[in-house]
Structure 1
């Protein structure tokens, strides 16, 4: 687990199951409903941190499309490319690599047995 996600995980006080491990798609995103908003989950098996949770709402286009973005690595960071304007968001902390004014909210996420859980503070 990366240090940033480890810090986020430690801070979570309450966990809620949002889906099962079987619902995740390797190297891709799925979208869940959590606390009144859409959250995109990206499952990257083989990584030290295998699952990431970011806001599904693209700040540039205003559309809920981040979960359909392509995942990859850019400048040493695991990223998702927004489908419409192709800006890259770091999966670890939500920042946009091209525009520091844009960012996605991130959530603590963990796989507990076969359940995928998002954390609340």
Structure 2
């Protein structure tokens, strides 16, 4: 236990109204580059802004295309179009690859990012 308060676990990043639907934005959260997405149903997701298939560090997934495969919201990486589940960070095209997924909540219109989700696998 670090003694940090619960309020310090959640970092406010922007207002919900500032997020464009199905467009990614980036923020520095807990020292990590995070890609934040708002879907058409007003759900908000946060993933590590790194495309594990890209050769260049500048190819972040925040610039990817947001869509759905059945019930699964995803972002397709801009470099190679690999789809990543917005809920878990798992690659839908290669189940051995994933990016970090982060807890998100919206309180009074403010998007808050928590810590990295624990892998359920």
TM-based fold match above 0.5: yes
**Which bracket does the TM-score occupy, shorter chain normalised?**
0.7 to 0.9
Gaps of 5+ in 1: 1-12
Higher helix share: 1
Q: Deviations over 1:67-103 (max 9, x none)?
A: 0100111243111000001100001111001112210
| Correspondence 1:114 to 2:109 | yes
Quote the residue 2:119 is aligned against.
none
Q: TM-score by structure 2 length?
A: 0.80
- Rg larger for: 2
Q: TM-score by structure 1 length?
A: 0.80
Gaps of 5+ in 2: 1-5, 117-121
Aligned residues, how many? 107
The residue correspondences of 1:31-70 to structure 2 (distance < 5 A) are 31-46=26-41, 50-62=43-55, 63=57, 64-70=59-65
How far the C-alpha of 1:120 sits from its partner, in A, is: 2.8
Q: Distance in 2 between the 1:78 and 1:44 partners?
A: 8
Structure 1 runs of 4+ off > 2 angstroms?
Answer: none
Q: Which has the higher contact order (CA 8 A, sep 6+)?
A: 1
